[in-house]
């Protein structure tokens, strides 16, 4: 099959719609269940490239949670801590967590609000443990190089039998030149085949030049994630998972703030005040996520004043004060930060410092590089210049 007709394009009024191979060759995918749409395939193919490269760079199974052609989360299959299991809502699952299941739980869980209704990409054959996690989440579909029989049956039962399951040929190699059209005009460019590994970060320009192995891995995860994130973009990573992604902003400081606020929320979810919240019976995971986001936000005092807390919590929670949140966030350390283009001002570093960033990777090349380096030196950060921009559109 070299062509697959789709229901419609980005929007219902955009017809006809299809994916096809211009050279007449076979499509490198099989739809095993459901009927994926135009945006589903955009997410699937971008996400597949991301997880394939993450596995190549780290040697670990990888997963990504995509929304609107940018990753909401990406991670490799390191073990989950008990706290992570709790904040990702998988602590009640009585099963053995495989490396791939760990990867998806982390990719889905770091920013659960953004991941709601995601399209999933898996670097390895989907096993039953991973499928069980996917089954309970609101998601549009999954792409993987294969599926264990039990996993496929679990996924086929999702969404009343309409869940999108795509199998991709992992040996497929795309043409070296990419072509797309905008307003009837064809654009052509060479594929971004840049290989990102731990040696990508050898040009350290700060006074502090101690870049441990885990930081190199985290920086590789950050930069590979950014390679498939709509620009401008920055990515905060800690312990093998993206904890904050800022995508598609016109200003880099807005990317840094957006991603930093997501990273902060990820860490605030681990605070005792959040872990001890008692929800009313029957409240779903998505409603719990929304309630936690409200609780750690600035508007929670309004909820207390209106008495709306009773619809969410069994017991009225204590206010999580700004001072308490800051004190907790001050314990977040050794975070890595990647940027798809240079930081034009030191204000990005100042904001990153508030979210525990110690390691930074960026192309360099700004007329104010000295100011950015000086700001890193002020906080004892390690920063490397990669010399390579990673815009993605």
Q: Mind telling me the catalytic residues? A: 67-68, 232, 393
- Name the burial class of residue 43, with classes exposed (0-12), middle (13-18) and buried (19+) by CB atoms within 10 angstroms of its CB: buried
Q: Are strands 357-362 and 335-339 parallel, antiparallel or unpaired?
A: parallel
CB atoms within 10 A of CB 93: 15
Residues 103/76, Cβ–Cβ less than 8 Å: yes
The owner of tokens 């997410």 is 43
Rounded to whole angstroms, how far apart are CA atoms 377 and 58? 29
Contact (Cβ atoms closer than 8 angstroms) between residue 314 and residue 279: yes
**Total number of residues shown for the chain:** 393
Nearest to 23 by CA among 171, 190, 176, 192: 176
Structure tokens at 158: 């999702």
Helix (H, G, I), strand (E, B) or coil at 54: helix
Cβ-count burial of 108 within 10 angstroms (0-12 exposed, 13-18 middle, 19+ buried)? Answer: buried
Q: Are 374 and 368 in contact (CB under 8 A)?
A: no
Task: List b or e across 376-388, with b for residues whose CB sees 16 or more CB atoms inside 10 angstroms.
Answer: beeeebbbbbbeb
**What residue has token string 């192995």?**
213
């Amino acid at each position: 099959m070299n062509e697959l007709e789709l229901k419609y394009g980005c929007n219902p009024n955009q017809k006809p719609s299809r994916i096809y191979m211009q050279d007449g060759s076979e499509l490198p995918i099989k739809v095993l269940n459901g009927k994926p749409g135009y945006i589903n395939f955009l997410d699937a193919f971008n996400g597949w490239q991301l997880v394939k490269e993450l596995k190549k760079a780290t040697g670990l199974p990888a997963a990504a949670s995509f929304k609107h052609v940018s990753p909401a989360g990406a991670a490799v299959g390191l073990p989950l801590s008990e706290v992570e299991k709790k904040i990702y809502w998988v602590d009640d699952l009585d099963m053995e967590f495989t490396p791939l299941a760990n990867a998806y739980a982390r990719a889905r869980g770091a920013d659960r609000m953004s991941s709601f209704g995601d399209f999933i990409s898996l670097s390895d054959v989907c096993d039953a443990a991973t499928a069980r996690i996917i089954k309970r989440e609101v998601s549009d579909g999954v792409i993987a190089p294969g599926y264990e029989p039990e996993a496929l049956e679990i996924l086929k039962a999702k969404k009343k039998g309409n869940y999108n399951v795509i199998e991709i040929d992992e040996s497929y190699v795309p043409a070296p030149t990419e072509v797309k059209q905008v307003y009837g005009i064809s654009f052509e460019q060479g594929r971004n085949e840049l290989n990102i590994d731990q040696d990508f970060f050898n040009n350290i320009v700060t006074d502090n030049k101690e870049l441990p192995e885990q930081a190199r891995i985290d920086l590789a995860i950050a930069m590979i994630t950014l390679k498939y994130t709509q620009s401008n973009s920055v990515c905060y990573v800690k312990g093998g998972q993206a904890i904050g992604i800022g995508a598609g902003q016109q200003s880099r400081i807005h990317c840094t703030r957006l991603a930093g606020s997501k990273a902060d929320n990820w860490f605030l979810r681990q605070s005792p005040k959040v872990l001890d919240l008692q929800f009313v019976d029957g409240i779903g995971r998505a409603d719990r996520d929304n309630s936690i986001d409200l609780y750690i936000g600035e508007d929670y005092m309004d909820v207390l004043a209106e008495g709306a807390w009773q619809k969410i919590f069994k017991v009225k929670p204590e206010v999580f004060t700004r001072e308490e949140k800051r004190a907790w966030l001050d314990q977040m350390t050794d975070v890595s930060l990647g940027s798809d283009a240079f930081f034009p001002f030191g204000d990005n570093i100042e904001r990153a410092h508030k979210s525990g960033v110690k390691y930074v990777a960026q192309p360099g090349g700004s007329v104010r590089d000295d100011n950015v380096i000086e700001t890193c030196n002020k906080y004892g950060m390690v920063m490397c210049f990669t010399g390579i921009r990673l815009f993605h559109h």
